[in-house]
Structure 1
Amino acid sequence: MIIGIGSDLCNIERIQASLDRFGTRFENRVFTELELAKAKRRPLNYAATLAKRFAAKEAFSKAVGTGFKAGVFMRDIGVVNAPSGAPTLALTGGAKARLETMVPAGHKVRVHLTLTDDHPWAQALVVIEALPEG
């Protein structure tokens, strides 16, 4: 069963402006070390790579219904790749705790994530699914 859906559209130029203005202070407040490392391997698409991840964080916060309050912080939501290469989320702290409160007893959770960009836009869609265990 679907227990949450969230989407976000992010302007890549807005992320570039934040990078230009605040530099590492912005990067370290919003992104995980893994996300920053991935973006650094894509120097020609650095801002677009981060904008997609920014959109994913926003989409997740909408899917769990909190936004960035109730202990859910941007750095608690990290975009990672599954063994197949598909993007998904690694959650820690308040983001993980909030998700755990949403999962019905006897179910496990699966987070689906899709990312795309077409300059100047980056988009993310998060679907949270609860699957019966066993």
Structure 2
Amino acid sequence: MARIEQAWLRHPDRFPRKILGLEELRVFNARSLRDRSRGVRYLATRFAAKEAFSKAVGLGMRSPMWWTRMQTLNAPGGRPVVVLAEPLASWYAERFGVAHVSLTDESEYGAAYVVVESRGNPDISVSSLLD
């Protein structure tokens, strides 16, 4: 949390816009206006989710993956869901099935776990995904 808060303090407008998609940015702004610590927790968990997703699909932060192209939003019941923008959405759809995301935050840490389903092709192995 401290590392994300420091980045936000150094670049109060630029840092959230670089990391968050448009829908995430709206939620972040509303939460951080009510309570700064809620804003920090939101920003930290979304940052963690983007890192976890980029690693799960084997891209890291290189094209077509980019911070704002992957959002973690809440379904009507509150469950976090992955929402992708182009060109990442098309790239992802060709290779994978549903992406599941879980977020948690504590006083010092924000964490995210992402599990990506295969498209049901038994010929896909971890080594072939890395090629």
TM range (shorter): 0.7 to 0.9
What is the letter of the counterpart of residue 102 of structure 2? T
Q: Could you tell me which residue of structure 2 aligns to residue 73 of structure 1?
A: 66
Find the aligned partners of 1:116 and 1:78 in 2 and give their Cα distance: 16
Structure 1 contact 79–87 (Cα < 8 Å) conserved: yes
Q: TM-score, normalised by structure 1?
A: 0.79
Q: Could you tell me which residue of structure 1 aligns to residue 102 of structure 2?
A: 114
Q: Tell me how many residue pairs correspond in the alignment.
A: 116
User: Quick check: 58-67 or 37-46, which moved more?
Assistant: 37-46
Alignment CA distance shift 1:88-1:27 (3 Å): same
What is the letter of the counterpart of residue 101 of structure 1? E
Which deviations, in whole Å up to 9, do the C-alpha atoms of 1:57-115 show, x marking residues without a partner?
Answer: 00000010010013210000011112332001110124323312323xxxxx2111100
| Residues 51-90 of structure 1: pairs in structure 2 closer than 5 A | 51-90=44-83
Q: Which structure has greater strand proportion? A: 1
- Which residue among 20, 23, 27 is the counterpart of 1:31? 20
What percentage of residue pairs aligned between the two structures are identical? 33
Q: What SS is found at the alignment partner of 1:111?
A: strand
What is the letter of the counterpart of residue 17 of structure 2? N
| Residues 32-51 of structure 1: pairs in structure 2 closer than 5 A | 32-43=21-32, 44=35, 45-51=38-44
Gaps of 5+ in 1: 1-11, 104-108
Higher relative contact order (CA 8 A, sep 6+): 1
